[in-house]
Structure formats: C-alpha cells, structure tokens
Structure 1
Amino acid sequence: MSIYNKINAGFSLGADAPITSGIEDVVYIFNENDITLTYNPTNPLLVTGLTAVSAAKVYKFEGTNNSFNAISKLSKTQVGPRYTEEIDFNIAGLSTDVKAQLMAMGYGRVRAVVINNYKTGDSAIELFGAVNGLILTEAERNAADEGIEGGYKLKLTNPDKLKEPYPPRAVSIAPESGTATYASTLAALEDLVV
C-alpha cells in the first residue's frame, strides 16, 4: 500500500496525550554527508538509523528559555507537495570559533535533529533536511539586544529551490536488542555527539 496518494488511517486527540507545543532547547546538527541515514523500508517518513561516516560527529547546540523553534510549511507545486523546513535558534557567543561555525553552516549543507516537547508517538525526535539539507540563511547579531546578550539569531532552512519532498522525518532508533523507544533513540543520537 503506497502512502503517497491514499490516506490509510484516522486520528483523534484525547485527554490521555494532549498535544504540546514547542521543541526542547537543544538541536543536534551534522554535516549532510557525515552521517548515513537508514529508513524504514515500508515507511520513508521514519529514520531507523544514523551511522557516522568514518569518524564524523554530531554537534549539539543547547539553549535556554524556549529559544529554539522548528517550522515545517507545506507548499503545493506542479509536481506535488513540498515542504520548507526551518530551525531558529540563538548562539550566545562571538568568538572566531563561533563565527567559523556560522560560515560553515552558510556554505555547506547540514541536517538537524530536534526533540519535540510532545513525546507521544514515534515523532518525538525529528530530522530536518533529510533530502536536500539545510543552510544558514540568517545570522543576525544586534550588539544591543539584551534578550540574547548581543549574540546571534540564526535560521537554518532549505537551500533556494530545494524544498523537501516529505515533512520532517521521525527518528526512532532501536537498541541492539529490543524495540525503539524515546530513550533508545536519544541514546543513539548522544553516542554520535562530539
């Protein structure tokens, strides 16, 4: 059964697991070609494995006070639906190391993983930029901005004319023996962090 052009299930929201907005104040970012993605063979919306190429790493950016946000927007095109994916976050730092990372995210393509505040279901952890990657499209610094102490406001999004063919992919990774859980997925991600 194809998921491309037929609905195959319904859903309802209940009191047992009410939807919760926002993402945690952490984003995991890695270079597009540094981590190989493994997909569920029957569901392309589900990433079941992240494997480092050579000694590649995942980089963890942490924030506070709901300073991170993730957005996915549907666009109808002549060839079907496409999705624009965006991740907004702040960096409180001005070092040359920070600036070098900003430049790398602007020229190279990265992928990013976020953790939703809504933990029910297999989409508690999501991957952005799975097909076309993300680039840094905004890096704004206002030295007088007391909200982020003069740091950078950043936006990662798809490169021009390269929207994603799917919404953000769910990441659900099983341990060596057993079924995938939120904890096992987070542990697999943390194992790749520098």
Structure 2
Amino acid sequence: MSIYNKINAGFSLGAATPVTSGIEDVVYIFNQDDIMLTFDSTNPLIVTGLTSVATAKVYKFEGTNNSFNTVSKLAKTQVGPRYTEEIDFNIAGLSVDVKAQLMAMGYGRVCAIAVNNYKDGDSAIELFGVVNGLIVTEAERNAADEALEGGYKIKLTNPDKLREPYPPRAVSIAPANGTASYASTLAAIEDLVA
C-alpha cells in the first residue's frame, strides 16, 4: 500500500549559517477573504503571490524588544497530521481603535505573515492561517503590568477544531521580471500595506 506523502530529500545542519531563533518585531495581518493567494504549482508549501481583492489592504503591526513570537505544533489526528499555529504579540495601547481591532480579530478570520530572524532558508518569511484562518483567542490586559506598561497581550491561533493541514507556508514572491528573493518578497508585502 502506498502512503500519501513520501520523503524526497535529506538535510544537514549548516555550520556556516546556524539557525537563529525568533522573529522580527513586525507582523503583517490581513482579513482572510481580502487577499487572494497563489501557490507554487509543484509545491503547496510555497506562496508565490498575494493579490488584493478590490481595495483590500494588509495591516502592519510593529513591536520592540522581541515582543512577537510564532509557534507551529504538530498534532497527530485520525485523518493525518494537523498543525496548530499561533502568533503572540503585544499592543502598547488601549484606545477604542485598538479595542475595535481586537474585536474584529476575535470574530473574523485573519492570516498573518511573520519574518523570521533566520534568513538563510527559503522560509525566511512565513504565512500562518492559510486554510482555516486565525482568530484572537486571548486578549489580556493587566493595568498594573509594568512589562507591558498596561498594554494588551494578544494570541492569534486557529479556531477550535480547525487546525491547519500544512505547516506555515513559505512566502516567496518574484518581481515582475526576475527571481524571487527575500527583498522582492518583502517589497510585494509592503506594497499591500495600508
């Protein structure tokens, strides 16, 4: 009996470019229905295009001092592997506008793009929540918390019982006439930022 997926390559740890932990202090978030995704025809783990639906935008959230984090956890299920994806970040503010955005991310489904500190691999930029989206599952504010200066701690993760069928996708977008690179991918994302 044949299995659905088969390994097709090996890998080794790189001594010249060792893995670096963490992500940059920025995350790009967009409504799941607002951006159309294009995938590599031979590899569904690679997103090769982001296209705005009508005048939709990508929203950029910036932080400082390693205030953002991503997690992808494998869960074995009866129908195969599934992945729980999470993005944690802090918001230094509590205005009505901040609260409105938190409410929107709690009810609507969003996708999020994170930029890894490790830039040598083909997954320097990753997309979370591609199939089932992400929602705010935790929004905690402790007014006396000196570490956050009374701001919010936010967790975006998959809705209940809706894990992702793939790990976070690599984002690799080529310019109009050229080869995809870290710079061209970041430029394509920034072009969609509100």
TM-score range, shorter chain: over 0.9
The alignment status of 1:172 with 2:172, answered yes or no, reads yes
Counterpart Cα distance in 1 of 2:103 and 2:57: 18
Partner residue, 1:52: 52
The alignment status of 1:88 with 2:88, answered yes or no, reads yes
SS at match of 1:86: strand
Equivalence map 1:123-142=2 (5 Å): 123-142=123-142
Counterpart Cα distance in 2 of 1:32 and 1:4: 28
Query: How many corresponding residue pairs?
Result: 193
SS at match of 2:164: coil
Partner residue, 1:99: 99
Q: Which residue identity is paired with 1:67?
A: S
Counterpart Cα distance in 2 of 1:34 and 1:14: 38
Identity percentage of aligned residues: 83
The alignment status of 1:115 with 2:112, answered yes or no, reads no
Partner residue, 2:18: 18
Deviations 1:72-107 (A, max 9, x none): 000000000000000000000011000000000000
TM-score between both structures, scaled by the size of structure 1: 0.98
Counterpart Cα distance in 1 of 2:42 and 2:56: 28
Counterpart Cα distance in 2 of 1:4 and 1:127: 24
Offset at 1:14?
A: 1.9
Q: Which residue identity is paired with 1:36?
A: M
Q: Which residue identity is paired with 2:145?
A: D
Offset at 1:173?
A: 0.2
Counterpart Cα distance in 2 of 1:36 and 1:132: 14
The alignment status of 1:184 with 2:184, answered yes or no, reads yes
Gaps (5+ residues) in structure 1? none
* CA root-mean-square deviation: 1.2
Offset at 1:28?
A: 0.1
SS at match of 1:184: helix
Offset at 1:5?
A: 1.5
Q: Which residue identity is paired with 1:49?
A: G
Counterpart Cα distance in 2 of 1:176 and 1:184: 10
Q: Which residue identity is paired with 1:81?
A: P
SS at match of 2:112: strand
TM-score between both structures, scaled by the size of structure 2: 0.98
Moved over 2 A (4+): none
Q: Which residue identity is paired with 1:95?
A: S
Offset at 1:4?
A: 4.8
